[in-house]
Structure 1
Amino acid sequence: MRGTKKIAISGYYGTHNAGDELICASLTMMIRHYIPDASITVFSADPRRTSSMYNVASVQRKNPFAILGALRTTDMLVTGGGGIFQDVTSSLSLYYYLLVICCARLLGKITVIYAVDVSPELKSLNRRLVVWICSRTHMVSVRTEQSRALLAESGMPKERLHRVCDPVFLCNEFPAIHSEQTASSRKKIIWVIREYPRRFADTRSTLMDALSNTCRLWAQKPVDQILIPFHAVEDGRLAEDLEKQSNGCLSLCTWESIHSVVAEVVSAHVVISSRLHGLILACALGKPCVGIIPDARVDGGKMKQISRENTAGIFIEDRDIEPQKLYEVIDTLLNEDQSRYRQSRDQYIRSAKTGCEQFWNATAQLLNR
């Protein structure tokens, strides 16, 4: 490969959302592995923070002049990953990502889409737009079989369509992972609980009661309970409410760097999460986990579909939580031989990495032409 290759990344980054930041960390790691001489620029809502966290260049994602300036000088645009191709709340964010891809194509740049979902729940026009854009990019990878089938049925050439795992599954390869290990005589439970929209106030209240009662059952045990608001803004209020309602049984982890989130989960013994990437991170690090599946109207059923398709864990519907039963599930997991979870993780990741390797090798070849 001759000379430095400039790569721009377009995604939902810099919003203090741990799930998306984990994707960005994994994505930059993969680019540096397969394209060692890459110079990376990330489009971010907080360029200074993104630049510092990942050692990359970064521009404001809402500044069209900065975006166009970066696209003019880049060799490749990588769009992804995660659930960015959605129109549940608004179509505007979807149009933003598609417009950035169109601009890159008009400028004659290589465009690839990495580890996204293409939901059949998209509005008809939006679905046609996504399929049209995907068919005109150089390479597309998706993280669910449903998305792969949808694009394949729409005529996407097989050689340009890849199935990959969610990028967060590759977080076990972060260079700092093994140095984060710390020994402690106390066991640790990590809670990752998502906020609910206001129209689900009753569900939120019921869930809060069940979880706070479960936390209090552990109060007299030699166990540390850490609550991590994965989305600092959206989940922050719920985290504070749950901390108060549990009468001090929980310690709130207010994170600044994604590495501190990883460090907490590395040292955990059990993870309970209603955030998809909290669950995936636990599985990637070989930790026993319990997935709390939110009402499908909250996240479009994404947690249920992706987690059950890609992770090994225990799943409980949010409306079915009983404190004593959840306590017993956690107690069982705490006292199990955790090596089997690491073995399950290793087996899955060996298989999942095949798709990622094929995608990134093909992507690197595009830059070599």
Structure 2
Amino acid sequence: MRLAMLGYFGFGNAGDEAILAAELAALRAALETTSPASTPPEFVAISGDPARTESAHRISAVSRTDFRAVVRTLRSCDALVAGGGSLLQDVTSARPVAFYAGTMLVARALRKPVFVYAQGLGPLRRRANRMLTGLALRSSRYVSLRDEGSTALAARMRVRGVDLVADPVLGIDLSLVRARPVPSTPRLAVALRPWADSATWLPVVRDALRELAADVEVVLVPFHAGQDVDLARDLAVDLGAEVVDPAKGHRAVLNAVVGASAVLGMRLHALITAAAADRPFVALSYDPKVTAFAEQVGQPVAATLPGPIDRDALVAGVRKALEGADETYLQRLAALRVSAARPATEIARLLTV
């Protein structure tokens, strides 16, 4: 069995690398359970940096900009697994939909089944992109989406039989770090990103972190090597805090999150990684997907950026998170982990029928 993996891989984003790691582990386990006597599955990722992907995940990879190599890969594989993350959206530009939906449709033209793995869908502002996305999803053999907003959008595009599941990172194997006790000295992992009107909201966050740093160990965790590092280093100088080096790979970034007592984050997968390790978090939302996840697991959203932030409420919310996870939160996470495993199980079943 040879599977092509399609996602935002090879760009130095620890969240997307965690998605790939989680999907690979889940698919290997599910395929082994479904067909224990068969040879281990092979994977090849369509990547922005094939060498980095091969080194980080120990699988084959081809460049997403080499169209001929992508087509050869699709032709040689048994199926295409597309996701997770927010691939089919046109907020950043029109190009993601053209690339991801186009690759899915090329796979179908080559008579390869396409499986959509826990994607977040939209926003889709352009009519042409909605049409292309709908066609790609309706032609897929199995579609799983990670939130109710995505499933509602899929329904408007006449996509039927969508499976609502949790993000794959909620089911990632963090056993090596989850066994660590919560630090005796409170430790706060902070995962921020540049965003609009930072002159309005960033000074408030900076001031709140100064107060917290007086009695809490603060660790700055840039999730995207190309976007978040400068902001993290700037804050670290002001706070006298450590900065995790994302160049060390996604595992170092994830370890910094799960080794903390709590997380203050804008990056969605910083919050999901915290949840995977049963760590409480406080969200600063810049995107509906962040708000949706926080509400799903019952964790607070301190502000929706670039709107105003109540500094005192932010500090109080973080201090409460540092006290530890409550039982309701843990129960919600346990239920979500079950659904996070479902796409891999269903893909393995469909590949072996």
TM-score by length of 2: 0.90
Q: How does 1:180-329 map to 2 (within 5 A)?
A: 181=180, 184-196=183-195, 200=196, 203-221=197-215, 223-244=216-237, 246=238, 248-255=239-246, 256-294=248-286, 299=287, 301-308=288-295, 310-317=296-303, 318=305, 319-329=307-317
Residue-pair matches, total: 343
**1:10 pairs with 2:36:** no
Q: Which residue of 1 aligns with 2:346?
A: 362
Q: Aligned ranges for residues 91-130 of structure 1 at < 5 Å?
A: 91-119=94-122, 121-130=124-133
Distance 1:210 1:339, change over 3 A: closer
User: Contact 2:168–2:341 at 8 Å: present in 1 too?
Assistant: no
Question: Aligned equivalents of 2:325 and 2:338: distance in 1?
Answer: 23
Q: 1:210 to 1:117 in 2, by over 3 A?
A: same
Tell me the CA shift for residue 168 of structure 1: 1.8
Distance 2:183 2:335 in 1: 33
Superposition deviation, residue 157 in structure 1: 3.5
> What pairs with 1:17-166 in structure 2 (closer than 5 Å)?
17-36=13-32, 37-119=40-122, 121-158=124-161, 161-166=162-167
Secondary structure at 2:89 match in 1: coil
Q: Given that residues 191 and 267 in structure 2 are in contact (C-alpha distance below 8 angstroms), is that contact kept between their aligned partners in structure 1?
A: yes
Give a deviation string over 1:12-40, Cα, whole Å, max 9, x none.
01101111111111111111111132111
Offset of residue 182 of structure 1? 6.2
- The code of the aligned residue for 1:210 comes to V
Any idea what the Cα deviations from partners look like across 1:340-360, whole Å, max 9, x if unmatched? Answer: 2xx445422443344444433
Kept in 1, the 8 Å contact 2:208–2:311? The answer is yes
Aligned equivalents of 2:184, 2:63: Cα separation in 1: 45
Query: Given that residues 258 and 273 in structure 2 are in contact (C-alpha distance below 8 angstroms), is that contact kept between their aligned partners in structure 1?
Result: no
Which SS does the other structure have where 1:13 is aligned? Answer: coil
TM-superposed CA distance for 1:85, in Å, is 0.4
Residue pair 1:215, 1:249 contacting (<8 A) in 2 also:
no
Letter paired with 2:294? S
CA contact (8 A) 1:13 1:45 kept: yes
Aligned twin of 1:330: 318
Aligned to 1:351: 335
Deviations 1:157-214 (A, max 9, x none): 42xx21111122113x3353346x2675422111111112xxx3xx302322112222
**CA apart distance, 1:110:** 1.6
Letter of the 2:241 counterpart: L
SS state at 2:8 partner: strand
- For structure 1, the 5+ residue unaligned runs are none
User: Which deviates the most, 120-129 or 316-325?
Assistant: 316-325
* TM-score normalised to structure 1 length: 0.86
* Contact 1:79-1:114 within 8 A present in 2 as well: yes
The answer (yes or no) to whether the contact 1:229–1:239 under 8 Å persists in 2 is yes
Question: Structure 2: any 5+ residue segments left out of the alignment?
Answer: 33-39
8 A contact 2:82–2:117 mirrored in 1? yes
Please, which moves more after superposition, 107-116 or 147-156? 147-156
1: CA distance between counterparts of 2:338 and 2:207?
43
State the distance in 1 between where 2:310 and 2:325 align: 28
Conserved? CA contact 1:51–1:58, under 8 Å:
yes
Percent identity among equivalent residues? Answer: 28
- Taking structure 1 as reference, are residues 156 and 327 closer, same or farther at Cα in structure 2, changes over 3 Å only? closer
Look up the equivalent residue of 2:243 and give its one-letter code.
Answer: L
